[in-house]
Amino acid sequence: MLGELEQIVLLAVLRVGDAAYGVPVHDEIVRLAQRDLTLGTVYKTLSRLEEKGFVRSYEGDPTPQRGGRRTRCFAVTNTGRKSLESSLATLRRMAVGLDVGLEPT
Amino acid sequence: MLGELEQIVLLAVLRVGDAAYGVPVHDEIVRLAQRDLTLGTVYKTLSRLEEKGFVRSYEGDPTPQRGGRRTRCFAVTNTGRKSLESSLATLRRMAVGLDVGLEPT
DNA sequence: ATATATTCTCGACATTGTCTATCAAATGAG
DNA sequence: CTCATTTGATAGACAATGTCGAGAATATAT
């Protein structure tokens, strides 16, 4: 089962695409979810998602502008994507017929 | 913030409509979310939602078929509905452009 | 070297998710 | 009427997720 924040973080990683490391993922969440999370929260969630096999991580290209260590980038795995789609599909199914702004096309 | 199950329970209460007490809400979740929850889990979640003001409860009509005590029915409050819509809107916003089965119309 | 900026890790604690066991009320059998 | 049975509700415990803040690691500028 994916928690609510886990879903959001998975979506953010997908959105950021390449070089999805902590900072841009965090920024994307703040921007689109209006949620004032800490970086620590994002990293913690990413770690847990990795333990469950929903994302994998790899060393990012060392292209730091000014200070900063190497980045740890994340990508959603197939399993992660399946799980995310399943969660969203459930919500959509349950929203059918209600006017809650999530009706199917 | 609404957890994932909280969202599902709110949706189920909306779906069931009148006389939304524990059992039918539970059934609706099992049916649409393929989630094998216990009745206890549903009640616990409903309690917590009520503490937060997202649902209210009232005594149901005593129309038991065979055994059974008076029912405690639940309805989603305005606040609850707003909160639910907000959560779903966030997901939808974040899904825009990704092919995860939750794109806006 | 030292200060500083950027990225990441690690406890610690709050909230949510979940079950099992148990309680309560209503009904029908005897 | 009494009580076993059925349906509905509650409570306590523990697991999983959500969240923060403090600090560690690493690179650069001075």
Judge: A14–B100 Cβ closer than 8 Å, yes or no.
yes
pLDDT of B22 higher than 70: yes
What's the full length of chain A, in residues?
105
Tell me phi and psi for residue B73, to 5 degrees: -95, 155
Residue A65 beta carbon within 7 A of nucleic strand C? yes
What's the pLDDT band for B28 if we cut at 50, 70, 90? very high
pLDDT at site A82: 98
B72 CA, D6 C1': Å apart: 17
* pLDDT surpasses 80 at B103: no
Please give the DSSP secondary-structure letter assigned to residue A52: T
pLDDT at A104 over 70: no
Residue range A1-39, pLDDT digits in tens: 999 999 999 999 999 999 999 999 999 999 999 999 999
For residue A92, give the chain B residue with the closest CA. B102
Give the C-alpha distances (Å, rounded to integers) separating A58 from A23, A24, A41, B43. 15, 15, 19, 43
Nucleotides of C under 7 A from a protein CB: 4-12, 15-21, 24-28
Strand C lies under 7 A from the Cβ of residue B72: no
Residue ranges of alpha helices (H) inside chain A are: 4-16, 22-33, 39-51, 78-95
Identify which of A100, A33, A5 has the alpha carbon closest to the alpha carbon of residue B80: A100
pLDDT tens digits, residue range A53-85? 999 999 987 666 677 788 999 999 999 999 999
For B65-80, write each residue's pLDDT tens digit. 777 788 999 999 999 9
